[in-house]
Structure formats: C-alpha cells, structure tokens
Structure 1
Amino acid sequence: MSSMAAPRSAMGESVRIVLRDEDEENGDDSPSAKRPKLDRFPLTRWEIVASFSVFFIFSAGLFCVYLTMPAADFGKLKLPRSISDLRLLKDHLGSYAKDYPAQFILGYCSIYIFMQTFMIPGTIFMSLLAGALFGVIRGLLLVVLNATAGASSCYFLSKLIGRPIVSWLWPEKLRFFQAEIAKRRDKLLNYMLFLRITPSLPNLFINLASPIVDIPFHIFFLATLIGLIPASYITVRVNGVGSLESTGMMYGGSNCLNMAGLALGDLKSVKDLYDFKTLCVLFLIGFIFICPALLRRKKIYE
C-alpha cells in the first residue's frame, strides 16, 4: 500500500506544479494574486520618510517667515483658485504691500517657491497677483526668479525621490522624453529652451523628469530662467489698473507700466491669457531657439 501511495503522491504534486505554471502564464485573477506593478505605491519607506522630512523643513521655514510678518487680517487671505478669488486677494493685499513692501515680497517669494517645489496648483494666480501689485517689469522679474528657484528645488527633490513617481504616473511620456533628450545631447540647451517656451510638455513634468533623464542642472537652470520669460510676461501683463496705483505708490515709479498690461477686472478665466495668437507667438519663439539643433541634424544626415 505504501509503495502505491508514493507514486500517487508524486503524481499529485506534479499535477499541482503544472497547474500553478499554467496560472502564472495565463494570469491569476484570484484575490490572493499579486497586484500589478502600477497599482502599488511606488515609494519605498525610506523615500516616504525623506519626502516628509523635506516637506517638514520647508513648512517650518514658511512658518518662520509667517511669524516675522507684521500684524494683518490673515483670515481674509487664502490661496486664489479663481479670478474672482484673485480680485478679492488683490484688494486685501494692496494696502499691506504698500505699507510693508519688503515683508510682503519675502512672504510672496516663500509661498511661491513652496508651491512650486511641492507641485501645489495655483502658481499662475500668484503670477497674476505679481502683475497686479507690482506692474509688468517688476512683476516679471519677481515671477521668473521665483519660478526658477521653485523649479530648481523641485529638480533636486525629484532627484531624491522622483524616479519611481514619474515612472509610475507617466511611463510612456518619460520614455518619449528620454529618447528625445538622447537624440539632442549636443544641443540640449536649445531643446530645453523650446520646451520651456512652448506648451509642448507641462512644466511640472519637465521639473520632475529632468534629473531622471540626466539633464545637467546648469542646463536645466538656464533653460528655466530664460525660457519662462515669454510665458511669464503674458501672465504678469494682467494688472490692477485703477486699484491702488500700486507701482507708483510703492516704488516711486510712474503708472505707465500698467498701461502695457490688461485690466484684471476684464479677465474672466485663465484660458483668456493663452489665445490662439499668443500660442502661435510662443511656438515661433521656441522654434527660433530649436532651429540650430534642427539644422545641425539635417547637415549630419546629408
């Protein structure tokens, strides 16, 4: 009996192995099966701790800046999420920015860089606010410097923990971006300027993916600093004409800078900033920068 039981046991084990192999090939839909890779959170425990640590450090710095701000009715202040919110915020901040310009700029820069670093939506409203309160020229300078600093912080944050997140959220887009970067290594700055000037790829994706595809920081920094100027100008030219004579009262200049922009009261939506004509201009500027790279590739293939 024992000799007959042994072959049966061995036969049953072999059948179970074959069935298990077939399940692995055909896919196991049982609840106990492993989840697909894309369904699992991409960060390891160490990366989660590192990201929370960086967020805590930035938050502590932002809170320290808040403690240095002069007293004000902060209950009326909130991050704008619409044009109507922006108009109300501009009215509340107008006199405060006039009385405490240095403290206001410090707080504005801290919030802008914090939002840009941690990919918090709403920086376009912060850019609109800069144009409304400071005028076109100073607003443009403020926005470009803050956007560059925030994008640089996001670059280094992505260098620390970004690879699994970007690979998880945008695998196809990341492969496309990596292939394009590999083809344009010799004219990388021109290509990055094209991406920054035109809306070909979202700035959020560029900030996160750049360190992953091995774009050097100096190329990333220069492309961001220069490439954000056209789009930032389009944003800050919307200003608060007729609100509190912001530019002249705060800095002793004339209000003629405001005449170069648009009245904030006439703006109905953020989409109004980027009409077809504006997008064509951005792509034309971007094409000028990428032209040397295209011409060089043409000579190589000839």
Structure 2
Amino acid sequence: MRSLVGLFAVVTAASLYLYSLSLYLPAGPRRRPRLGSEIEHVEAAESERLSDISEEPSRLKFPSDLAELRELAELLQFYKTEHTGYVLLLFCSAYLYKQSFAIPGSSFLNILAGAIFGPYEGLFLACVLTTVGSTMCYLLSQGFGKQYIVNFFPEKVSMLQKKVEENEDCLFFFLLFLRFFPMTPNWFLNMSAPIVNIPITFFSCSVFIGLLPYNFICVQTGVMLSEVSSLDDLFSWARLLQLLTIACVALLPGALIRHFSHRRLKVDTQHHNGSVAHKKVQ
C-alpha cells in the first residue's frame, strides 16, 4: 500500500507539472511588416491565423493520429521561432512523462521530434529521451511496482526471467535482440527489467542502441512529413531514394543481431499469427 501511495504521488506531481507547463504558453512571435498591399494582406491573414493558434492552449495535447500530429507540429514550429527553450522543455517533459509511466504513443513523439527539430537534433533527442525515460520507468518499477507487476503479469515475468537466466553469459546482446525483435512490448520490458535482475547499466545501453533504428525511422518520417506538401513530392525519385536509404540503415543492425542470435542466444524466434512458438537456438 505504501508503494502504491508513493507511485500515485509521483504521477500526480508529474501530471501537474506537465499540465502547468502546457497551460501557460508564452506570447507568439510577431511578424515584421513588408511593403506591398497584397503581401501585407496575405501576411495579415496568416498572422491572424497563427494568433488564433497561440490563443488556444487546449490544443497542446498528446497526438492520437497523424492529423493531430501535423497540427501540433505546426503549432510548435510557430512557437519555436522565438521560444526555442520553451518548446524544447515542453517536448522533453512530455516525452519523459510518456516513457516514465509506460504510456503508449512514443512513436508520435519521435515523428514530432523530426518535424520540429530536424533529422540530426531530432534523432539525438529521441535516443536520449527514450533512454532516460525508460531508465526512469525502470527505477519507478524498482521502487514502487515490483509486487504489482508480478501479480498482474505472472506468466510474462516468469518467461522473461527464464530467458534472462538462459542468456546470462551474453545478456547485453540478448537485451539488444529484445529491442530489435521484441517478444514482449517495450513498456513491459522497461517495467519488468528490475524484477528479473537486469543491471541498470546493461538496460540503459541496450535501450539507446537497440531502439536507435526505430527512432531513426520515426524521426525521418517526421522530417518528410514536415517537408512534403503534395503526393508528387512524396513519390519523387529523391524521396524514394531517401526512403530506401532509411530502410537499409535501419535493417542493418537488426540483421547483425539476428545473425549473432542464431549462434549464441536462446530466444523465441518463430511467430505465427501473433503468437510465439518456442524454439531454442543453439
């Protein structure tokens, strides 16, 4: 009971902080007037539209589909021109909130990182925040949730414990394999890792490296969404070449880990209709 009260206090404090941060938006950036009646008319209409956006703090919410994601990206890009620090703090806080409390939907935030911060800074933020947030989830589970996780997911915890013991001599590569080819959702692995005695150093490093291809794909998708304005742009030769490069870069680490796993790891590698068939790889 004491651990449940402590967890509730942490969640409440984090929720109030994130709510207050999203509620009090700074003033939106102002546009400089230009010569020409037609240009002034267009810019006045655009400024009025952006002003309407800045007066709607309720629109700052976690996106649930691509339409909301594009809308949120447009809003944050608008504020980023003069309030970069605020947008960065808000994005990092929201990302860590989702990761720390194992809330699904981090892929949308990865895409948003690419749309707002670009391919390099966005990828760096996604990788660092994923690692920090997952580690915070690990620590929260270690401090407050061990008993509840075992009670709610006894079979999953038992299966993971067995696999960890079987691959104890190459535990780090086993954790990488789980990130590249998850037998269990990432959120469950984050919560159950301290229960099955996975060292926090192995855990954090495996998150950073193992989710790098996934974060890379999501961030690059966000970059393309922010640049594409029509279907012709999406299906141009340059864009198709970019997609092919992204796919090759993302698949290479997974291919190497799979090759290693067939020689050393003992994992479940066959999937049939969403179920896992147990197979021991020697």
Tell me the TM-score normalized by structure 1: 0.67
Task: Quote the residue 2:153 is aligned against.
Answer: 170
Give the number of the structure whose alpha-carbon radius of gyration is greater. 1
Partner secondary structure for residue 238 of structure 1: helix
**Which of 271, 283, 286 matches 2:257?**
286
Pairwise CA distance, 1:124: 1.2
CA deviation map 1:264-291 (0-9, x unaligned): xxxxxxxxx99xx999767424314546
Alignment of 1:196-211 (within 5 A): 196-211=179-194
Contact 2:213 2:251 in 1 (8 A): no
- RMSD after superposition: 3.3
For these two proteins, the number of residue pairs brought into alignment is 230
Cα distance in 1, alignment partners of residues 142 and 113 from structure 2: 30
Partner secondary structure for residue 162 of structure 1: helix
Cα distance in 2, alignment partners of residues 102 and 244 from structure 1: 23
* 2:130 is the alignment partner of 1:147: yes
**Which of 37, 48, 54 matches 2:4?**
48
Q: Which runs of 4+ in 1 moved over 6 A?
A: 277-280
Pairwise CA distance, 1:161: 2.3
Partner secondary structure for residue 78 of structure 1: coil
Task: Quote the residue 1:216 is aligned against.
Answer: 199
The amino acid across from 1:293 in the alignment is R
Relative distance call for 1:261 and 1:140 in structure 2 (3 A) is: farther
* Worse overlay, 54-63 or 217-226: 54-63
**Which of 99, 105, 118 matches 1:116?**
99
Structure 2 runs not aligned, ≥5 long: 28-53, 229-237, 267-281
* 2:133 is the alignment partner of 1:133: no
Q: Which has the higher contact order (CA 8 A, sep 6+)?
A: 1
CA deviation map 1:75-118 (0-9, x unaligned): 22221001111111112222112222222111100110011111
Relative distance call for 1:63 and 1:82 in structure 2 (3 A) is: closer
Cα distance in 1, alignment partners of residues 261 and 61 from structure 2: 40
Pairwise CA distance, 1:122: 1.9
Task: Quote the residue 1:186 is aligned against.
Answer: 169
Relative distance call for 1:63 and 1:90 in structure 2 (3 A) is: closer
Relative distance call for 1:173 and 1:134 in structure 2 (3 A) is: same
**Which of 93, 96, 99 matches 2:82?**
99
Contact 2:95 2:109 in 1 (8 A): yes
Tell me the TM-score normalized by structure 2: 0.71
Contact 1:195 1:286 in 2 (8 A): no
Contact 2:119 2:223 in 1 (8 A): no
Contact 1:191 1:289 in 2 (8 A): no
Structure 1 runs not aligned, ≥5 long: 1-44, 246-255, 263-272, 296-301
Cα distance in 2, alignment partners of residues 149 and 179 from structure 1: 27
The amino acid across from 2:7 in the alignment is S
Cα distance in 2, alignment partners of residues 166 and 197 from structure 1: 23
**Which of 7, 11, 15 matches 1:59?**
15
Partner secondary structure for residue 237 of structure 1: helix
Partner secondary structure for residue 151 of structure 1: helix
Cα distance in 1, alignment partners of residues 250 and 182 from structure 2: 8
The amino acid across from 1:287 in the alignment is R
Relative distance call for 1:244 and 1:104 in structure 2 (3 A) is: farther
Relative distance call for 1:159 and 1:146 in structure 2 (3 A) is: same
The amino acid across from 1:178 in the alignment is Q
Relative distance call for 1:136 and 1:244 in structure 2 (3 A) is: closer
